[in-house]
Amino acid sequence: MQEDLDHSRARYFDLYDHAPSGYFTLDGQSLIQEANSTGAQLLGMPRSALAQLPMSMFILPADQDLFYFAQKNLQATHATQSLDLRMLKPHGSAFWVHMEATAGSDAGVESDIRLMLSDIDDRKRMEAVLHQSHEMESLGIMAGGVAHDMSNVLGVILALASVHEELEPAGSRAHKSFVTIAKACERGGLLVRSLLGFSRQGLIEEKEVDLNDLIRNDVGIVLRNTLNQINLDLDLAENLRPVLGDGSSLAHALMNLCGNAADAMREGGTLTIRSRNGRTDWVELLVEDTGTGMTEDILEKALVPFFTTKEHGKGTGMGLSIAHHTVQTHHGDLEILSQPGQGTRVLMRFPACERRAPVTDSPSPPLEESSCLSLRVLVVDDDELILHSMRELLEALGHSVAEAPSGEEALARLATGEELDVVFLDMNMPGLGGKGTLPRLRDLRPNLPVVITTGRPDQTVLDLMRNHPGVTLVSKPFSLQQIRDHLESLRHERIVLPSPAPNRRTSTRTQPRPETQLQRG
């Protein structure tokens, strides 16, 4: 019987000692009285060294109040306490545990406390990744909405500024001011397009991009004019293979990286931008600075949206996040190497594509000849400011403009037989919106050209363009010259073919005001 009892005790002790969870017995002052092997391994110390040590010394200071609160409730109610908190190992690394605290069997004045600790660090990390994913999804939705509203605001400013830019005498103070306003709007448009990257997973438009040309034309000139005490070293490979992507998004991402590099070299230094053909059909782009560098903990958070080490008002914390997301949407990857005092290297890799043969288009008719035809244009948009600015812009180009604040009203006008040459259709409107209006519009006028105007081009827009011939896209914000070029391209592609008769009229057409029409030489 004694042998059986000893064997049973040995079996119980073996199960207790090697259980998947850590077991601890504490006295009334939370000093460790006993621990199993799993618990000792969890805390990273020999079991013999744990005796009489306070459990609180193994708990992250920020979470110690959680432990004290649970201990107080346990002593007052003798009810099991469950909580998640972070604990520390001797070398200082923190990890997550789930703690179950129960009162000992000899519950009394100086009751023992029994703890069961389970390592949930991996689970917490996965939850953090999932939480970040949800945050990014929410951020994408928010960014898409903000970008749409901002593109409308910028569109109004850019449209009116570009109209008056052409009306004012070249070189005058007013002309220079409108040029500056237009450039500021175009720069804001690049930021809006970058924000839109968070609201979609893929590229809306893919074109062949030569990264060397992008660096020389869109980045190099700007950097040479803006970086004062910083040396710019361009090391661009010859015969660099092209990539498929969005040139403006790539340029903005690169400018963000260069801006961060400049901020890290306040006392001067060298910024190197290097391109090269990598192995296995990859193109590599390196941005390297000789600045202050980053510590390991900062480097881990560098790609987190809104994380910044800059002073309040000096940065948004979105530069690296936007660059990272831009690279991802181009099916590439981004790697950051940095050490304090050793500068930072950002390496971007993109899949290369085959260089396409240049397409030679037949020359377009001269603008003065083709623009003499006045188009009858219907602008469909629920934003009153957009309607006003579009009227000013189109009438300045010599076209007559009708307005509809909703898709339903536009369809009603078409149903009455109103003659039109082209419709500018906004996508984001109450009611039918652009998505619901376009199919009904096509039923009424199968051959009427439609130009979708939106600050948030997405897959819905692509599907509409694919399923309905004669539909093109102009992204907000746009200038007078962009609308002029777009209408000319429609003529050239024989999508818009207005009758040249100068006296055609409809009862609903608004005649252009003579004082707003641009003079053509």
Distance in angstroms between the alpha carbons of the first and the last residue of the chain: 116
Is the pLDDT assigned to residue 508 strictly greater than 50? Answer: no
pLDDT in the model for residue 346: 92
pLDDT in the model for residue 202: 45
Which percentage of the chain shows pLDDT scores above 90? 25
pLDDT in the model for residue 350: 93
Is the pLDDT assigned to residue 435 strictly greater than 70? Answer: yes
pLDDT tens digits along 173-213: 888 888 888 888 877 776 676 666 555 544 555 678 999 98
**Common-topology check for domains 207-351 and 367-516:** no
pLDDT in the model for residue 81: 93
pLDDT tens digits along 101-138: 998 765 444 568 899 999 998 888 888 777 766 766 66
pLDDT in the model for residue 406: 93
The token pair that represents 159 in the structure block: 């449209």
Q: Which residue has the higher pLDDT, 240 or 494?
A: 240
Q: What is the 3-state secondary structure of 392-438?
A: HHHHHCCCEEEEECCHHHHHHHHHCCCCCCEEEEECCCCCCHHHHHH
Question: Is residue 36 within 8 Å of residue 16, measured between CB atoms?
Answer: yes
pLDDT in the model for residue 223: 59
- pTM recorded for the entire structure: 0.50
Distance CA 442, CA 7 (A): 87
Buried b (16+ CB within 10 A) or exposed e, 21-47: bbbbbbeeebbbeebbbbbbebbebeb
pLDDT in the model for residue 502: 41
Question: Is residue 362 within 8 Å of residue 491, measured between CB atoms?
Answer: no
pLDDT in the model for residue 215: 86
Is the pLDDT assigned to residue 312 strictly greater than 50? Answer: no
pLDDT in the model for residue 194: 60
| Least trusted range by pLDDT, from 8-17, 278-287, 388-397 | 8-17
Q: What is the 3-state secondary structure of 431-492?
A: CCHHHHHHHHHHHHCCCCCEEEEECCCCHHHHHHHHHCCCEEEEECCCCHHHHHHHHHHHHH
User: Of 411, 454, 407, which Cα lies nearest the Cα of 431?
Assistant: 407
* CATH 3.40.50.2300 for the 367-516 domain, yes or no: yes
Q: Which residue has the higher pLDDT, 225 or 508?
A: 225
- φ/ψ of 333, rounded to 5, equals -140, 155
pLDDT tens digits along 62-100: 999 999 999 899 888 889 999 999 998 877 788 999 999
> Class for domain 207-351, per CATH?
alpha beta
Structural domain spans, the chain: 17-119, 125-199, 207-351, 367-516
Distance CA 189, CA 518 (A): 25
pLDDT in the model for residue 298: 78
The token pair that represents 365 in the structure block: 């008719």
Is the pLDDT assigned to residue 326 strictly greater than 60? Answer: yes
pLDDT in the model for residue 409: 93
pLDDT in the model for residue 497: 44
17-119 falls under which CATH superfamily? Answer: PAS domain (3.30.450.20)
How confident is residue 325, by pLDDT bands cut at 50, 70 and 90? confident
Residue 100 bridge partners (DSSP): 82, 116
Please state the rounded mean pLDDT for residues 372-397.
87
Is the pLDDT assigned to residue 224 strictly greater than 90? Answer: no
Is the pLDDT assigned to residue 514 strictly greater than 60? Answer: no
Is the pLDDT assigned to residue 387 strictly greater than 80? Answer: yes
3-class SS at 506? coil
Bond prior to 54 in cis (omega within 30° of 0): no
pLDDT in the model for residue 199: 54
Which percentage of the chain shows pLDDT scores above 70? 78
Q: How many CB atoms are closer than 10 A to CB 360?
A: 6
